Amino acid sequence: TQLLEQSPQFLSIQEGENLTVYCNSSSVFSSLQWYRQEPGEGPVLLVTVVTGGEVKKLKRLTFQFGDARKDSSLHITAAQPGDTGLYLCAGEDTGNQFYFGTGTSLTVIP
Amino acid sequence: DAGITQSPRYKITETGRQVTLMCHQTWSHSYMFWYRQDLGHGLRLIYYSAAADITDKGEVPDGYVVSRSKTENFPLTLESATRSQTSVYFCASSPISRFNEQFFGPGTRLTVL
């Protein structure tokens, strides 16, 4: 059972464009994390959000946790080739289980 | 500062053979994890360990065995490899809990023929 569905699964855009990646669930999560994974490497944590409605910014990346704590989004402004990678959401549900999402593979074309 | 290392990085084996993937961390983190990564499934937890000699099943434990006799090592064994176990395997560690930031190794790409 996949509790965290990410969309889109694949995304290819031109350098300078904006994009949004979504992480959705029917379950409530106590906290939600976003990781980025570059080819041939393990994932690296970008941010953790814990409060419904919370918005966190990391340079050109904006993360939002839904008010009901069932969804999250990652918005990238003016994408750069260095943003290329697999973006994974992950969260702890209210049953103390921890899951990774299905992933969004982003390619930014120079 | 080696961090977390995995070996081998690549492995090809045959159906029915036993395979052990190694994971070593230098941070003395309490928690260690094994995941498999397959397209469309993200990362799925196989086993995790909260401390030496304490292990617990994750989402997809069938066909895998783990041990943790020392804090820094967490080997994963496929007792009789099957083609469905072809995957990329990641080891991770965390100093606090399985719900906090996890630090990942570079992965082992395993192919079972």
Q: Look up residue B109 and give its DSSP letter.
A: E
CB contact under 8 A, B104 and A44: yes
CB contact under 8 A, A98 and B45: yes
Write out chain B residues lying below 8 Å of A99, CB-based: 59
pLDDT averaged over every residue in chain B: 94
Distance from CA of A62 to the nearest CA of B (A): 19
- The residue count for chain B: 113
Strand order in the sheet with B76-78: B4-7, B19-25, B76-78, B64-66
Position A38 scores a pLDDT of 93
Strand (E) positions, A1-110? 5-7, 10-14, 19-24, 29-37, 44-49, 55-58, 61-65, 71-76, 85-93, 98-100, 104-109
Q: Please, what's the b/e burial string for B5-14 (b: 16 or more CB within 10 A of its CB; e: otherwise)?
A: ebeeeebebe
Give the confidence band of A2 by pLDDT, cuts at 50, 70, 90.
low
Give the nearest partner residue to A100 out of B43, B99, B100, using CB atoms. Answer: B43
Position A1 scores a pLDDT of 55
B74 touches chain A (CB under 8 A): no
Position A73 scores a pLDDT of 97
pLDDT in tens, A34-80: 999 998 899 999 999 999 999 999 999 999 999 999 999 999 999 99
CB contact under 8 A, B101 and A6: no
Contact A13, A79 (CB under 8 A): yes
Give the confidence band of B99 by pLDDT, cuts at 50, 70, 90.
confident
- Over 90: is that where the pLDDT of B57 sits? yes
Q: Identify the three-state secondary structure at position A18.
A: coil
- Over 90: is that where the pLDDT of B1 sits? no
Average pLDDT over residues B65-80: 96
Position B7 scores a pLDDT of 97
CB contact under 8 A, B92 and A44: no
CB contact under 8 A, B106 and A40: yes
